[in-house]
Amino acid sequence: MLKVICVGAAAALMSASVQADEIATQTSLPTPWAATDGAVIDFTVLRKGKPFGRHVLTFEREAGGALQVTTDVDLQVRIGPITAFKYRLDSVEEWVDGQLVALNGKSNNDGRKGKVLAARDDDNLIVDGSKFEGALPLGTIPSSHWNRLQVYQNQMLSTETGEVLDIEVEIIGDDTVTVGDQQVDATHYRLTSDLTVDLWYDQQSRWVKLAFDVRGQSIEYVLNALY
């Protein structure tokens, strides 16, 4: 079970010298966001405070009740007419009864390409990716971040390459996120894997913010409107 650390409570109960893995606590799971047909999660992505792309997820309910989630990420850093950095991610997830049953993703990280195909086979998710091939249990959650239960797992499936990423999560605590002209109450988490990412989910378990540092640069996802 993922070691979930409530930083505020830990500070009250133990000294700062105690390691995080020694103060893990069992936490009840929140109710995940109920994805609605036609919903759109639309982030403007900032680099050092300035826009450099979009991260958009769209949700569609199929006739049989399955949920299709499409992710489109397009980031570019330009210096005059020259593209200094480019990142693209295109993925499609299919969910049935709250479980991921199929995934088709491809990525281009500044020339480094990745792919992943996954499909349900009985009680397993069979993955064919550029960094992992094999079977995973149903209930595995991909790295698309919209499903809040991701931060209560100990692994996630990369939508870029199919890699199985080990994760640890801290619950930083209550916070407020600005969405348009609204102030939204949210819970702040810190997810550590191959990259340390801060995530915020509101009281309806909607993903409302993301931030991380990479190569000395601050990246922030600003949600354009509640969904």
Q: pLDDT by residue (tens digit) across 91-129?
A: 999 999 999 999 999 999 999 999 999 999 999 999 999
The total of structural domains in the chain comes to 1
Q: Mean pLDDT, to the nearest integer, of 56-80?
A: 95
Q: pLDDT digit string (tens) for 161-200?
A: 999 999 999 999 999 999 999 999 999 999 999 899 999 9
Tokens of 90: 């295109």
CATH number at 180 reads: 2.50.20
Q: What domain range is 109 assigned to?
A: 4-223
Query: Any residues with CB less than 8 A from the CB of 166 and at least 6 apart, and which?
Result: 154, 155, 193
pLDDT for position 27:
59
Cα dihedral 175, 10, 214, 55, rounded to 10, equals -40
220, 199 in Cβ contact below 8 A?
no
> pTM above the 0.85 mark?
yes
**R_g of the chain computed on alpha carbons:** 18
